[in-house]
Amino acid sequence: MTSQMKSKAEGNVLVLEREFNASKSVLFKAFSEEEHLKKWWGPRGWMLTLCDLDFRVNGVWHYCMKCVDEEQGEFFGFESWGKGVYQEIIEDEKIVYIDYFSDAEGNEAEGMPSTLCTLLFEEIDGKTKLISTSEYASPEALNSVLEMGVEDGMKETWDRLGEYLDSIKK
């Protein structure tokens, strides 16, 4: 069983931490390979209908999350497009990318905050602590994504990641 996500928002930075029952290399692959991302990315009731990944520095990850859960009412059928542009990659250690809200063509959504995301992978006794640091242009930009429910969305996403990692170990 994986541990709970820890969350801390301060100024324009959101830090999320969680320990996963997997090695650094397995957890890193879950973030760097399309076939893995498609299985767990997004909150419960959402699935990736597009996952176009060019995992290299200056490469782009363009994706679409679609709500497929009728229980989510007005969100059912809703699509959320995103684009990540990789800035730094250190195998099994670190991924840095800028995350944007986008449209279906990959154009950045105007008026929506972008995020400088840093993922650090720290192995501890065969498990891996994932530390995600998200830096926004301003405290107001961070507050806007907090109001959109980014913490709950990431908790559900990481819950799905933990379940996925457990399922591939068998």
| Domain of residue 122, CATH code | 3.30.530.20
Is 44 contained in some domain?
Answer: yes
**Order of strands, edge to edge, in the sheet holding 94-101?**
6-10, 13-20, 127-135, 115-124, 94-101, 79-90, 60-67, 46-53
What are the tens digits of pLDDT across the range 147-160?
999 999 999 999 99
**For residue 48, which amino acid is it?**
L
* pTM, two decimal places: 0.93
What are the tens digits of pLDDT across the range 115-146?
999 999 999 998 999 999 999 999 999 999 99
Domain containing residue 151: 6-168
Domain count, the chain: 1
